[in-house]
A and B are shown apart, each in its own frame.
Chain A
């Protein structure tokens, strides 16, 4: 047990949350981060879906990494990811239909998420299954928490709600407060993402871009 969570493995799990974050440092997976964060709920579901898919595709590819012919490895990776995405998409349709409607094509487009291919190529192809699993979980969560932050800000300021519950009191609206329509536009998500990245680099000055 202690070997499973050795210092190196803990590092694999936690580095993507901060110092090696897929969105903030590697600037991967931006497209879906902009598309699904208008509200908090789809952002959470999207983050969890990507975490699950990254983790398990990492494990599967890691198990069969020695049998994959090098020249067709991308195709095989895509088949694995596509299978997992289909499973997740079906689960969402069965148990969280409203959210899956909101996410629409973006669940299917997880196949093309750069983070997934990046982790498969850079990590799972040359590491053991358990490490690959931790790496997938870490990167998925690193992606997810940025989505949650942006989704929360956008939903709060853009619609005055969080997870659909009204947060801004009616009194504020009566006093002249108006929801910020720009927050619901994808352009504002890009600006917010820029702010998050800027603040992160200002706090962690040791990160070299």
Chain B
């Protein structure tokens, strides 16, 4: 049925049609709704049943548990902070209403830029933004103003993605670039204790909190040299303040299972991030360093802050991570190790996941190069011996 409608309106968008300026929009929707029936006209190509649009759809599905839980948690934190009892659905819808504008802004701005660029370069629309657009609202604090979000999205789509040639060509993860932009440009909206809980009532749901209300995340408590007040089970279920999608280990684990089962994410990267974090966290534990961050047990480091979210959804991004299988171990391990090092050693940054991943994004090609060169020299040696 969809195909019939599309076939009927197709002539409008072809060369000479009255809407030809929107042909990339049309093609984008067509191949999003249906499997593309166009085949490559040159060279030998192997087509899989799963193309990059399907991959993106799977990643979005994998993100849904964390997203839905994030919405519930927004509501939970708001009602909890106000000391008001509320049902599950009230909390959920409150969070839904709080998060919906962010998702809309992220998609409208990001896809708008993608459509314009695709039109300008006479290319098809690239589907990479489907995932990025959902990731960005999930890794910012709930109170982040919409105009900042729009600016960050524009910055990252243009400067971290399009100028490199679009989806698949970028060096840095665009979602993390957007977050890094916000982090450095508007530190008051991205760090501190007053931003993690939504403060205002929306459409009759939720409660207005007093202006001075603050709620620290576990990592900002540690950064301030205090003890973590949250019990471990809250860290795992995720009923604690933090960026929208990052709090719940369980929801992220469901996403991880989906990603690993469909083989979209590499288990090598994911595992080695956790190993790297655990090893370095443990080393700081036994080092006897006298700071609160160094004394956080290594397993708590792994379930706090953005560690899980970054390890599952960010580090495994197939575009920006290392491509060689051996390289993925080094890449992941260094992300985990750097994250914990930044958390413990840099008092200015209570969380290090974003910077660690961006840093290793930069080094991924170098890791690949070293792995490939080592393989070449090993084979040269072997052939000389024989």
Mark A residues whose CB is within 8 Å of B: 176-178, 180-183, 185, 187, 191, 195, 198
Contacts and interface: CB of A to CB of B under 8 A. Distances in A.
B5 interface: no
Interface residues of B, number: 12
B347 to A, nearest CB: 18
Interface string B185-204: 11111000000000000000
Contacts of B187: 181
Contacts of B261: none
B185 A182 contact: yes
B186 A178 contact: yes
B104 interface: no
B181 interface: yes
Q: Is the interface of B mostly helix, strand, loop or mixed?
A: helix
Contact of B184 (A182, A195, A198): A182
A178 B189 contact: yes
Contacts of B189: 178
* Those 6 A-B pairs whose CB atoms lie nearest each other, nearest first: A182-B185, A182-B184, A180-B185, A181-B185, A178-B186, A176-B145
B181 A182 contact: yes
A181 B186 contact: yes
Contacts of B184: 181-182, 185, 187
Given A183-B185, A185-B184, A178 B148 contact: yes
Given A176-B147, A180-B186, A182-B184, 18 more contacts: A176-B145, A177-B147, A178-B148, A178-B186, A178-B188, A178-B189, A180-B185, A181-B184, A181-B185, A181-B187, A182-B181, A182-B185, A183-B185, A185-B184, A187-B184, A191-B159, A195-B159, A198-B163
A178 B186 CA distance: 7
Nearest to B182: A182
Contacts of B163: 198
A201 to B, nearest CB: 12
Contacts of A176: 145, 147
B165 to A, nearest CB: 13
Nearest to B148: A178
17 contacts: A176-B147, A177-B147, A178-B148, A178-B186, A178-B189, A180-B185, A180-B186, A181-B184, A181-B185, A181-B186, A182-B181, A182-B185, A183-B185, A185-B184, A187-B184, A191-B159, A195-B159
Nearest to A176: B145
Contacts of A187: 184
Nearest to B159: A191
Contacts of A183: 185
A181 B187 CA distance: 7
B305 to A, nearest CB: 22
Interface string B163-190: 1000000000000000001001111110
Contacts of B188: 178
A176 B143 CA distance: 12
A187 B185 CA distance: 11
A181 B151 CA distance: 13
A97 B261 CA distance: 67
Interface string B368-384: 00000000000000000
A178 B185 CA distance: 9
Contacts of B159: 191, 195
B272 to A, nearest CB: 29
Contacts of A178: 148, 186, 188-189
Contacts of B186: 178, 180-181
B346 to A, nearest CB: 17
A176 to B, nearest CB: 6
A197 to B, nearest CB: 11
A106 B145 CA distance: 38
